[in-house]
Amino acid sequence: MKNNLIEKIVYEISKNTSLTQKTTQRLLNNLIKDQDIFNNFIKNLDTLKTQVSMCCICNYYKIDKKCIICSDESRDQNIICVVSNQLNVDNIEKNNQYKGLYHVLDSEINLNKNVSPNDIDFESLFKRLSKSKELILALNATFEGELTANYIYHETKKLNINVTRIAKGIPMGGSLDYMDESTLIDAFKNRKKYEV
């Protein structure tokens, strides 16, 4: 390909964001083809850029000056749920069940990528815990997520706080044929009375 300008832009965007080069190419292709869509896309980004930032308490998105979670006084101020990133909060909020606060780490301990505990701002979490009664660990059930959960658990031992973690088990629609050993062990351990 000799379109070096497009190639360069695809490479840069893909390097800096979560998009693959293929997805970036498709996105840019759609934008170039339609000026209206392109203008609208840029307008939306501008709105996002000027109005959205991160909450200085929980690190979730805030629009203008307020984070909708931290500023909601009806929520239980005694429970903090730790998640890896902002999208996790969106996912949990969709269910409309959890009514406590959040803390977004925006990272996980990852030895392969040289992310050690020192590279993550755990201090702002630990500071908040002095006023809390329960800390829910809702981190990914991956090696990195477990490592991070483990670190937080050990660091908060000295605090007088109830540390829980969300249940592991068979996900909805999951087939036992394809479930790994550790999930099955957890699913059996955490079995509940069958109720209809």
How far is Cα 110 from Cα 123, in angstroms, rounded to an integer? 18
Tell me, by CB under 8 A, how many residues bind a copy of itself: 48
| Shortest CB 59 distance to a copy of itself, Å | 10
Phi, psi values for residue 80, rounded to 5°? -120, 125
Binding of a copy of itself by 54 (CB under 8 A):
yes
Q: Quick check: 44 binds a copy of itself (CB under 8 A)?
A: yes
Q: Is 87 among the residues that bind a copy of itself (CB under 8 A)?
A: yes
93 binds a copy of itself (CB under 8 A): yes
CA separation for the pair 103, 7 (Å, rounded) = 38
> Whole-angstrom Cα distance, residue 106 to residue 86?
7
Rounded to 5 degrees, what are φ and ψ at 46? -60, -45
Binding mask 122-161 for a copy of itself (x = CB under 8 A): ----------------------------------------
In the list 70, 75, 85, 179, the residue contacting a copy of itself (rule: CB under 8 A) is: 85
d(CA 67, CA 119): 24
CB of 116 to a copy of itself, least distance (A): 20
**Strand 52-54 versus strand 61-63 pairing type:** antiparallel
Give dist(CA 170, CA 112) in Å, integer.
Answer: 28
- 83: nearest Cα among 171, 6, 152, 186: 152
Residue 5 lies near a copy of itself (rule: CB under 8 A): yes
Which residues, numbered 56-75, are part of the site for a copy of itself (CB under 8 A)?
A: 61, 63, 68
193 in contact with a copy of itself (CB under 8 A): no
Reduce the DSSP state of residue 27 to 3 states and report it.
Answer: helix
Q: Which residue's CB is nearer to a copy of itself, number 25 or number 140?
A: 25
CA neighbor of 107 nearest in space, from 84, 126, 130: 84
Residue ranges in contact with a copy of itself by CB under 8 A: 1-3, 5-6, 9, 12-13, 16-19, 23, 25-34, 37-38, 40-42, 44-49, 51-54, 61, 63, 68, 85-87, 90, 93-94, 106
